Structure 1
Amino acid sequence: MRVKYVLSEVLVGLWRNVTMTIAMIITMAVSLTMLGASGLIYTKVADMKQLYFEKIEVSIFMEKEFTEQQRPEMEAKLDGDPLIRDWQYIDKDQAYKRFQEMFRDSPDLLSVVKAEQLPASYRLKLVNPEEYKAISEQYSTVEGVDQVVDQSRVLDKIFNLFTAGQNIALVAAIAMAIAALLLVANTIQVAAYSKRREVAVMKLVGASNWFIQAPFVLEAVVAGLIGSVVGLIALIGLKQFLFDGALSTLQGLFAPVTWGEVFLTFPVMAGVGGLISAVTAWVTLRFYLRV
């Protein structure tokens, strides 16, 4: 009987303040959508970093005067370096073949560049690609080395942009979460005020604090859970129309967002939405009703 009463009061409370309930659900949905989106962005940037770092090569370009007699000393140094996992030597002829493949659509450029003009190089695979700076410092002063170039310098700029996007999404989610908290608290206050006489009577007849608070808390939790469902629908729309639609041509550059990852965000969104709503409602009642 008590459970039936509590559930009926939850439904009555949601319907009595229907406009504020809808506003609370929408605010919670927007907040949870941004929270879920920022979580997906964090995981995708982490995946992209791992993916690209695994492919990073450090290139040591030798001077044009570098000779075959200097190779043994250089290669012995590379073999003994614990930072290097593997290396490959590219002589001038191999470098010229690669150059021809890269610029096969620019015959004018190919006609003026000869094999002897291109430097020999070593392509290094590192044990930890993030230690490319140590390789640059170590080999840039070695005799016969012209320059040390690594792809991660460009990637660092790209990842800085993604990190900025992560932070913006997270700050926006926090701001919306604060707005949702205030709206939940205000809605619960209005609901409690409208039933203040009923609450006073229940206290007089010995009703427990839990029995009085339960309908208000569950009302907020239901709104939070509905908001999480709306947020999940919004994330599904983002994947369908943005990631798989407008950005589909860039999937070779970006780590794809899978359906599994989208649906795995729902338990987190529902848990956060339900918990925040419940705690906010309980704290509001403690201070407002003094029960």
Structure 2
Amino acid sequence: MRLKYVLNEVLVGLWRNVTMTVAMIITMSVSLTMLGASVLLYMQVDQMKNFYYGEIEVSIFLRDDVSEAQRTAVDQAIAGNPLVDSKQYESKEEAFKKFQVIWRDSPDFIKSVTPDSLPESFRVKLKDPEQYATFADQMRGMQGIQDIVDQRELLKKVFDIFNSIQVMALVVAGVMALAALLLVGNTIQVAAYSKRREVAVMKLVGASNWFIQAPFVLEAVAAGLIGSILGFIFLFVSKVVLLDGRLQALTNVLTPIPNGNVWLMLPLLAGVGAAVSAVTAWVTLRFYLRV
């Protein structure tokens, strides 16, 4: 009987303040969507780092006037270095073929370049990419070497951009979460005020604090759960429609987002939405509703 009464009061409370309830659900869904997007972004950047850093190579470009003896000496130095996992020699012709593939959509640019314009090189994969500086110091200064380039430095600039996007997403999610907290607290205050006489009567007949507060707390939890479900639906639809649809070409650069990661957001958002709503409602009642 008590449970039926509490659930009935929750439904009545949600309907009684329907406009504020809808506003609370929308604000909660937006903030939770931003939170879910930022968490997915964090997970994706970490996945991309593991993928791309595992494929990182050190490019050792040779001079145009490198002699056969110098090329052989560089080759032997690389092969005998304990930091090296694998190596591959790339001639001018091979570099030009790769160049043609990369710039196949710009035929005029391809015509302006000849195989002799591109340097021959060694593509070296290290056992530990973090040891680049040590490896470069060991190779630098050898005759025939023009430049040593670490691909990690190029990727670092890209990941710095993603890290900035992560921070921005978290900031927006934090602002929206604050707005949601204030709205939840305000909605609970209005609901408690509209039922102040009922609360006074229940207190007089000996109702417990939990019994009086439960409908208000569950009302906030229900709104939080609905907002979390809407936020998850928006995330999932955005992933399917955009990343798996119109923006699918981005997966050539960005590693694809697994559906499993998106599904993980459902319990995360539901837990955060319910917990935040419950705590906010309880704290509001402690200060506003003297029971």
The answer on whether the counterparts of 2:59 and 2:123 sit within 8 Å (CA) in structure 1 is yes
Which amino acid is 2:228 matched to?
Answer: S
TM-score, normalisation: structure 1? 0.89
In the superposition, relative to structure 1, how do residues 213 and 89 fare at CA in structure 2: closer, same or farther (>3 Å)? same
What residue in structure 1 maps to residue 125 of structure 2?
125
| Mapped partners of 2:125, 2:44: distance in 1 | 24
Unaligned runs of 5+ in 1: none
Report % sequence identity.
57
* CA RMSD of superposed structures (Å): 2.2
The answer on whether the counterparts of 1:53 and 1:130 sit within 8 Å (CA) in structure 2 is no
Would you say 1:103 and 2:100 are equivalent positions?
yes
What residue in structure 2 maps to residue 256 of structure 1?
256
| Mapped partners of 1:44, 1:33: distance in 2 | 16
In the superposition, relative to structure 1, how do residues 118 and 14 fare at CA in structure 2: closer, same or farther (>3 Å)? closer
What residue in structure 2 maps to residue 136 of structure 1?
136
| Mapped partners of 2:40, 2:98: distance in 1 | 38
How much does 1:16 deviate? 0.8
In the superposition, relative to structure 1, how do residues 267 and 100 fare at CA in structure 2: closer, same or farther (>3 Å)? closer
What residue in structure 2 maps to residue 20 of structure 1?
20
| Cα deviation 1:87-124 (Å, max 9, x = unaligned) | 2334xxx33233245338534533xx54xx76543211
| Cα deviation 1:107-166 (Å, max 9, x = unaligned) | 4533xx54xx76543211012224434433443334442210122222222111111111
Q: Which runs of 4+ in 1 moved over 6 A?
A: none
SS at match of 1:213: helix
| Mapped partners of 1:7, 1:123: distance in 2 | 67
Which amino acid is 2:94 matched to?
Answer: K
Q: 243-252 or 80-89, which moves further after superposition?
A: 80-89
Instruction: Map residues 176-255 of structure 1 onto 2, 5 A cutoff.
Output: 176-255=176-255
| Mapped partners of 1:30, 1:165: distance in 2 | 17
What residue in structure 2 maps to residue 174 of structure 1?
174
SS at match of 2:252: coil
Unaligned runs of 5+ in 2: 102-106
Across the two proteins, how many residue pairs are aligned to each other?
A: 284
SS at match of 1:254: coil
What residue in structure 2 maps to residue 153 of structure 1?
153
What residue in structure 2 maps to residue 62 of structure 1?
62
Which amino acid is 1:181 matched to?
Answer: L
The answer on whether the counterparts of 1:103 and 1:109 sit within 8 Å (CA) in structure 2 is no
| Cα deviation 1:241-261 (Å, max 9, x = unaligned) | 221222112221111123332
TM-score, normalisation: structure 2? 0.89
| Mapped partners of 1:200, 1:81: distance in 2 | 82
What residue in structure 2 maps to residue 270 of structure 1?
270
| Mapped partners of 1:125, 1:170: distance in 2 | 35
The answer on whether the counterparts of 1:25 and 1:223 sit within 8 Å (CA) in structure 2 is yes
Which amino acid is 1:251 matched to?
Answer: T
In the superposition, relative to structure 1, how do residues 181 and 67 fare at CA in structure 2: closer, same or farther (>3 Å)? same
In the superposition, relative to structure 1, how do residues 100 and 271 fare at CA in structure 2: closer, same or farther (>3 Å)? closer
